[in-house]
Amino acid sequence: MSAPVLSSLVNHQVRLASRPVGMPTRENWHFTTEAVAEPEDGGVLLQTLALSLDPAMRGWMNEGRSYIPPVAIDEVMRAGGVGRVIASKSPQFAVGDTVSAGFGVQQYLRLAPGEFKRNGIFKIDLRMGSLTQWLNVLGMPGMTGYFGLMDVGQPQAGETVVVSGAAGAVGQTVGQMAKIKGCRVVGIAGGQAKCDWVVQELGFDACIDYKAGPSAVREGLKAHCPKGVDIYFDNVGGEILDTVLARINRKARIVICGAISQYNATTAVAGPKNYLSLLVNRARMEGIVVFDYADRYHLAIAEMASYLKDGRMKSKEDVVQGLEHFPEALLKLFNGENFGKLVLEVAPT
Amino acid sequence: MSAPVLSSLVNHQVRLASRPVGMPTRENWHFTTEAVAEPEDGGVLLQTLALSLDPAMRGWMNEGRSYIPPVAIDEVMRAGGVGRVIASKSPQFAVGDTVSAGFGVQQYLRLAPGEFKRNGIFKIDLRMGSLTQWLNVLGMPGMTGYFGLMDVGQPQAGETVVVSGAAGAVGQTVGQMAKIKGCRVVGIAGGQAKCDWVVQELGFDACIDYKAGPSAVREGLKAHCPKGVDIYFDNVGGEILDTVLARINRKARIVICGAISQYNATTAVAGPKNYLSLLVNRARMEGIVVFDYADRYHLAIAEMASYLKDGRMKSKEDVVQGLEHFPEALLKLFNGENFGKLVLEVAPT
């Protein structure tokens, strides 16, 4: 490939303008441009190809203590992604290499060698999975689902695993991994199309459409989990968490991965009223943050790439095109409109 | 001792008359008498000396699924206790033996040999601890505190342990065991007298009087847990649980033993609004039911009896006299009026 004329490139960026109250709006963002510069000695210049849009982004927009610092006002919005090395003064990366990195919501990223480690940049192999699969099952959501299920949930063959956000990025991985481990798997998702897909395409044993009515989850759990719930992998929080807590078995494990129903709440988060079910059932509720497992990502990636190859694992991505559509694209997560892992395609791949 | 004339004995009993809504009242109980009969072949007749009054009793009065079945209407109220064998046709027990058993709130208990196991009767050794200590640190509350802390909490020397209901039966054991294991221990209790006692007598590092003001717990945790909270042993639930959740460390363990603040609630239980702190901190919240550890009670009893003997562990019991005072005595638990393990003395000891 011919080297691009760097001086002709303009980096379009999306920055956090203000902290949202409730659902983010276009006013919470501002769009900037910057000139693109040569990498410094030992550094690289990357072009963003696709970005991962994740529920966790909503949390990064808030002020205050969390598992990572918030995005600062006027900072480029944090986002993981996949892209290409377009200029390199690093012996580790060659022009044309495909990489996963913390790109941010922008078209280009210039990294000094001292930033590699903190950024988390690494080369990806497109023979193991497609570019968008590297944002999905082989990316952060896949790692979250894998380690949340395997390390925190500790599934045993024959157990019943329930996962909310079943058609989402994390949910896909959790449900398929649980099937591979010999569990009965019941998904919870919004809408019949998602439910049909996780059952027919991903092989879940059943899926409950939580939008089907006010008692849909309660009735669905009763029908589809005749032996109770051993593991609940929770991506949503709120009422669904409470409903599942009422049906857990002794020594059940509740993996707290997210609470998307609560992220835009302008009142206090709804705590699980049925938490005393943990006492009655000697059960455990435990949080997972994927970064804790970074030293084992390569093992999970290798395992899941083998499942992608032999067809035991499938993936679905919902791709929105164009950096300028970032604000609206993000909202699809909170409206439940995305069908599969939400990806923002920033450049044609 | 001379054998009592059994036919002259009358068994006074307290039975559940109706299920309370909110705080139990005298109307929820009725008082009955029964003749006392000879034990059947292989059986025993026991005289109740003292009964354990516990927060869990409130739960047993409710209808519905829990870790044990509810007490039925008109049934003698369930209660563990200590007493004496006054007639025996069993080779396992001799007249005069002191035993721990599921006496129920009554003066006498006749057990058939086929009931021994389910009842849980066993001989106790008053050289290991006094009669009331066998209801406290060597009894169910002690076992609950011991296994909840050691098995679920898994304390490491140098960690900070917070325990609510610190002057109560379970709290005493938890705090003193945690000190013995080299932890920093901060209690939460109601009133300065209880706080002074756990610090001065039991050797807690600090104790927070939750009644001292609306921000007493928050400020107290800030002052007394400068390195955050590694283990929270929760006996109370409600707002205190939420306040502690806001100060937990990474990989913290929240032991859910009870939620006395919620037991008499007539509205829905308040769920912990700050439960997402479990996610941020990769922390775990887990329930404990003491019965699961029955096969190891003897080990914990032996260990704690040695601490009682060498003075590393102390105990305090709050003794109310007279079976007829059971209804009011029980309420002391929910008003926080008991100071130490609440015991109902049924016969002079």
Give the model confidence (pLDDT) of A279-334 as tens digits: 999 999 999 999 999 999 999 999 999 999 999 999 999 999 999 999 999 999 98
Per-residue tokens: A146: 């894998």
Q: Does B274 touch chain A if contact means CB atoms closer than 8 Å?
A: yes
Residue-wise pLDDT for B110-129, tens only, equals 999 999 999 999 999 999 99
pLDDT of amino acid B3: 53
User: Which residues are A52's β-sheet partners?
Assistant: A343
Contact A256 B269 (CB under 8 A): no
Cα–Cα distance, A344 to A347 (Å, whole number): 9
Q: What amino acid occupies position A68?
A: I
Residue A2 has pLDDT above 60, yes or no: no
A219: burial class by Cβ within 10 Å (0-12, 13-18, 19+)? middle
Tell me, what's the pLDDT at A4? 58
Instruction: Give the predicted TM-score (pTM) of the model.
Output: 0.90
Alpha helix (H) residue ranges in chain A: 56-60, 116-119, 140-147, 169-180, 192-200, 216-224, 238-245, 277-280, 297-310, 326-335
How far away is chain A from the Cα of B67, in angstroms, using its nearest Cα? Answer: 5
What digits encode the pLDDT tens for the residues B263-317? 777 777 889 999 999 999 999 999 999 999 999 999 999 999 999 999 999 999 9
CA A201/CA A195 separation, integer angstroms? 10
Cβ of residue B71 closer than 8 Å to a chain A Cβ: no
Please give the distance of CA B283 from its chain centroid, rounded to a whole number: 26
Neighbours of A253 (CB within 10 A): 24
Per-residue pLDDT at A8: 86
Least confident of A63-72, A154-163, A253-262, B115-124: A63-72
For the segment B185-213, the average pLDDT, to the nearest whole number, is 97
pLDDT at residue A266, rounded to an integer? 73
Whether the pLDDT of residue B7 is over 90: the answer is no
Give dist(CA A338, CA A136) in Å, integer: 13
Q: Which of A44, A42, A35, A39 is nearest to A95 (CA)?
A: A44
Candidates A240, A244, A269, A285: best to mutate against B (most CBs of B within 10 A) is A285
Inter-chain residue contact A284 with B282, CB threshold 8 Å: no
Contacts 24+ apart (CB under 8 A), A32-38: A34/A10, A35/A7, A35/A9, A35/A10, A35/A11, A36/A6, A36/A7, A36/A9, A36/A10, A36/A11, A36/A108, A36/A110, A37/A6, A37/A110, A38/A6, A38/A87, A38/A89
Residue in A closest to B234 by C-alpha: A279
Hey, are the CB atoms on A273 and B272 less than 8 Å from each other? no
B86's tokens: 């006054």
User: Do A121 and A98 form a contact (C-beta atoms < 8 A)?
Assistant: no
B168 Ramachandran zone, left/alpha/beta (phi>0; psi -120 to 50)? beta
Q: Which helix (H) or strand (E) holds A150?
A: none
Which residues in chain A have their CB less than 8 angstroms from residue B278's CB?
A: 256, 285-287
The span from the CA of A281 to the CA of A287, in Å, is 18
Average pLDDT in chain A: 94
The complex's ipTM works out to 0.87
pLDDT surpasses 50 at A1: no
Give percent above pLDDT 90 in chain A: 88
Does A288 sit within 8 Å of B283, measured CB to CB? Answer: no
**Lowest mean pLDDT segment, chosen from A65-69, A122-126, B196-200, B317-321:** A65-69
Domains of chain B: 6-136+316-345 (3.90.180.10), 140-291 (3.40.50.720)
- Give the mean model confidence (pLDDT) for residues B325-333: 95
pLDDT at res. A265: 74
User: Does pLDDT of B1 surpass 50?
Assistant: no
Alpha-helical segments (H) within A89-215: 116-119, 140-147, 169-180, 192-200
**Single-letter residue type at B164:** S
Nearest to B152 by CA among B290, B300, B318, B56: B290
Choose the mutation target among B58, B282, B288, B293 for the interface with A, i.e. most A CBs under 10 Å.
Answer: B282
CA A127 to mean position of chain CA atoms:
22
Q: What is the pLDDT of residues B127-144, one digit of tens each?
A: 999 999 999 999 999 999
Q: Identify the CA nearest to A154 among candidates A181, A176, A116.
A: A181
Burial of A23-46, coded b for 16+ CB within 10 Å and e otherwise, reads: ebeeebbeeeeeebeebeeebbbb
pLDDT in the model for residue B4: 58
Q: What is the mean pLDDT of chain B?
A: 94
Q: What span, in angstroms and rounded, lies between the C-alpha atoms of A186 and A156?
A: 15
Confidence class for position B227, pLDDT limits 50, 70, 90? very high
Q: What is the pLDDT of residues B134-187, one digit of tens each?
A: 999 999 999 999 999 999 999 999 999 999 999 999 999 999 999 999 999 999
Amino acid identity, position B314: K
Q: Going along B93-223, which residue ranges are E strands?
A: 98-101, 108-111, 122-123, 160-164, 184-189, 206-209
pLDDT tens by residue, A235-268:
999 999 999 999 999 999 999 998 888 877 777 7
Instruction: Give CA–CA dist B114/B280, Å, rounded.
Output: 51
Q: Chain B within 8 Å of A256 (Cβ-Cβ)?
A: yes
A271, A280, A287: residue with CB nearest B280: A287
| 8 Å CB contact of B257 and A279 | yes
Q: Which residue is listed with tokens 């941020």?
A: B280
A166 touches B: beta carbon within 8 Å: no
CB pairs below 8 Å between A and B: how many? Answer: 106
A306: how many CB neighbours lie within 10 A of its CB?
Answer: 12
Of A65, A258, A288, nearest to B282 by CB-CB distance is A288
Mean pLDDT along residues A62-79: 90
Residue predicted with more confidence, B29 or B261:
B29
